[in-house]
C-alpha cells in the first residue's frame, strides 16, 4: 500500500508540465488572434495575485472548486466517477437556502451548524442515490450522476419560479428568500486590511474539509477499504470488503463534500439561492481532481490554479482585451495533457502486467 507522500512526490511533475504546455499553446492562440501573449499573461497573473484584493477573489473561486474537487476525488479513489458534483452542489445549496431562511431568526450558534448540516446531508443523500443504483442494479454512475444533475436543475426552476421557495423580490430574476443573519458565513478579512474583499469563513470550512478528506482516506480503516476497492474490486472482495455497500457510502461522502460547496456559495457569497447560480463548478471540479491527482494538497493547489485562471481571465479581458474564451482553452488543454498521461500510463501497465486481473 502506497503512502500518500510517495504518490504525491511522483505526482506534481506531470501536472506541472501539463499546465506549462497548456500555457504555451494558449499563448500561441493569443498570437494567432493578433494579440500580445506577454500582455495577456501579465494581466492574468496580476488579476489573480496582483493585490491582496485579487488574491481574495482567487480564493473565493477556489473554495467551492476545492470542495467539489474533493467530491470527485473521493469517488475516483474508490474507482467511481462522480460526474454529479454540480447537481450535489445545487442540492446542498437549496437545502442550505431553505433551512437558513426558514429558521432565520435563530442565533448563529444554532443556525450556522444547522445550515452546514443541511447542505452536507442533502448533498450526501443526493450522491447516495447514484451509489445505490450502482450497488443494487449495476447502473453506471456516470449516467446516473449526469442525469441527476439535470433533475436538480429542473427542480430548482420549479422551486424558484413561482414555486414553494420563491421569494417576492425586485431582483428581476428568480430567487429564494434571504437567509437569516445567523446562517451567513462572515467576511473574514477586515475592511481596513483589504477593502471590498468577499473572502468569507467558507475558507475555514474548506480547510477543514481537506483535512477530513486526508484523514478519512489515510487514517481510518474505512478509508483503507475504499482505496482498496478502488485499486482492485475483486481482490478487495476476497479480503472481505463489500464493494456494493462501500459504493453507496462513498457516493454519499462525495455528495456531502459537494453539498458543502453549495452551502458555502449560499451562506458566504449570495445569502440566498438564485436560479442558475454557481454554474460550472461541478465540471471544473473533475479537472481539478485530475490535475491534483486526487490528493488533498494537489486538489487544493489545482483549485487555486483554476481560481487564478478564472479571476485572472477577467482582468485579461478588461486590461489586455483578450477574449474570455482563452482561459477556457488553457483549462481544456490542461485536461487534455493530463488525460494523455493517464492513457499512456494505463497502456504501459497493460503491457507490463498481463495477469493484471486477479
Partner 1 sequence: MKRVLALALISTFVIAACGGGASASPSPAASSAAATTTAPAAPAVKVGLVTDVGGLNDKSFNSLANQGRLDAEKDFKVTTSVTESKKQEDYVPNLTNYAQQSYDLVIGVGFLMTNSVWKVAKQFPNVKFAIIDGAPANDKGDTENLPNVANLFFKEQEAGYLVGVIAATMANDKVGKATHNTLCAMGGIPIPPVDRYIAGYQDAIKTIDPSATILNGYSNDFVDQAKGKEVGLNHISKNCDILFQVAGGSGLGYIKAATEKGVYAIGVDADQADVAPGTVITSALKRVNKAVYDTVKAVQGKAFKAGDNFFSAANDGVGYGKLDPVVPANAKAAADKALADIKSGKITPKDQLQVK
Q: Which parts of this chain interact with partner 1 (CB under 8 A)?
A: 17, 20-21, 24-25, 27-28, 31, 34-39, 53, 57, 60-61, 154, 157, 161-162, 167-175, 178, 196, 198, 265, 269-271, 274-281, 310-311, 314-315, 317-321, 324
Query: Which residue, 149 or 310, is less far from partner 1 as judged by CB?
Result: 310
CA–CA separation, 206 and 213 (whole Å): 10
In the complex, least distance from residue 95 CB atom to partner 1, rounded to whole angstroms: 19
Query: Which residue, 16 or 211, is less far from partner 1 as judged by CB?
Result: 16
Query: Which residue, 160 or 251, is less far from partner 1 as judged by CB?
Result: 160
Contact 82, 145 (CB under 8 A): yes
Burial track 240-260 (b if 16+ CB lie within 10 A, e otherwise)? ebebeebbbbbbbbbbbbbbb
Residue 95 neighbours by CB under 8 Å, 6+ apart:
118, 119, 121, 122, 123, 259, 263
In the complex, least distance from residue 61 CB atom to partner 1, rounded to whole angstroms: 7
Q: Which of 185, 188, 206, 157 is nearest to 96 (CA)?
A: 185
- The Cα diameter of the chain in Å comes to 65
Query: Which residue, 140 or 161, is less far from partner 1 as judged by CB?
Result: 161
Query: Which residue, 134 or 178, is less far from partner 1 as judged by CB?
Result: 178
Query: Which residue, 229 or 261, is less far from partner 1 as judged by CB?
Result: 261
Taking the mean position of all CA atoms in its chain, how far away is CA 19? 19
Phi/psi of residue 175, nearest 5 degrees: -155, 160
Residue 236 neighbours by CB under 8 Å, 6+ apart:
225, 228, 229, 243
Phi/psi of residue 11, nearest 5 degrees: -60, -60
Amino acid at each position: 500500500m502506497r503512502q500518500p507522500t510517495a504518490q504525491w512526490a511522483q505526482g506534481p511533475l506531470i501536472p506541472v508540465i501539463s499546465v506549462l504546455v497548456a500555457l504555451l499553446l494558449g499563448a500561441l492562440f493569443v498570437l494567432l488572434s493578433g494579440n500580445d501573449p506577454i500582455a495577456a499573461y501579465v494581466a492574468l497573473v496580476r488579476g489573480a495575485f496582483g493585490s491582496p484584493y485579487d488574491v481574495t477573489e482567487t480564493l473565493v473561486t477556489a473554495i467551492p472548486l476545492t470542495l467539489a474537487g474533493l467530491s470527485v476525488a473521493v469517488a475516483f479513489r474508490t474507482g467511481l466517477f462522480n460526474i454529479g458534483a454540480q447537481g450535489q452542489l445545487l442540492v446542498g445549496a437549496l437545502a442550505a437556502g431553505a433551512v437558513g431562511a426558514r429558521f432565520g431568526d435563530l442565533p448563529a450558534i444554532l443556525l450556522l451548524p444547522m445550515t452546514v448540516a443541511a447542505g452536507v446531508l442533502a448533498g450526501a443523500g443526493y450522491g447516495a442515490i447514484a451509489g445505490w443504483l450502482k450497488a443494487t442494479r449495476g447502473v453506471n454512475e456516470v449516467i446516473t450522476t449526469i442525469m441527476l444533475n439535470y433533475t436538480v436543475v429542473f427542480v430548482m426552476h420549479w422551486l424558484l419560479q413561482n414555486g414553494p421557495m420563491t421569494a417576492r423580490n425586485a431582483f428581476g430574476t428568480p430567487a429564494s428568500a434571504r437567509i437569516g443573519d445567523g446562517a451567513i458565513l462572515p467576511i473574514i478579512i477586515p475592511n481596513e486590511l483589504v477593502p471590498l474583499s468577499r473572502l468569507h469563513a467558507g475558507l475555514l470550512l474548506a480547510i477543514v474539509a481537506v483535512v477530513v478528506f486526508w484523514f478519512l482516506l489515510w487514517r481510518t480503516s474505512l478509508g483503507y477499504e475504499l482505496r482498496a476497492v478502488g485499486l482492485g474490486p475483486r481482490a478487495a472482495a476476497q479480503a472481505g470488503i463489500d464493494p456494493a455497500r462501500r459504493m453507496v457510502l462513498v457516493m454519499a461522502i462525495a455528495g456531502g463534500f459537494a453539498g458543502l460547496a453549495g452551502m458555502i456559495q449560499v451562506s458566504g457569497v449570495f445569502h440566498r439561492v438564485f436560479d442558475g447560480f454557481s454554474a460550472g463548478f461541478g465540471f471544473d471540479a473533475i479537472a481539478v481532481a485530475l490535475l491534483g491527482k486526487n490528493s488533498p494538497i494537489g486538489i487544493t493547489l489545482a483549485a487555486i490554479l483554476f481560481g487564478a485562471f478564472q479571476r485572472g481571465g477577467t482582468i485579461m479581458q478588461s486590461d489586455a482585451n483578450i477574449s474570455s474564451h482563452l482561459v477556457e482553452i488553457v483549462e481544456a488543454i490542461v485536461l487534455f495533457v493530463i488525460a494523455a498521461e493517464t492513457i499512456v500510463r494505463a497502456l504501459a501497465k497493460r503491457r507490463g502486467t498481463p495477469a493484471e486481473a486477479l
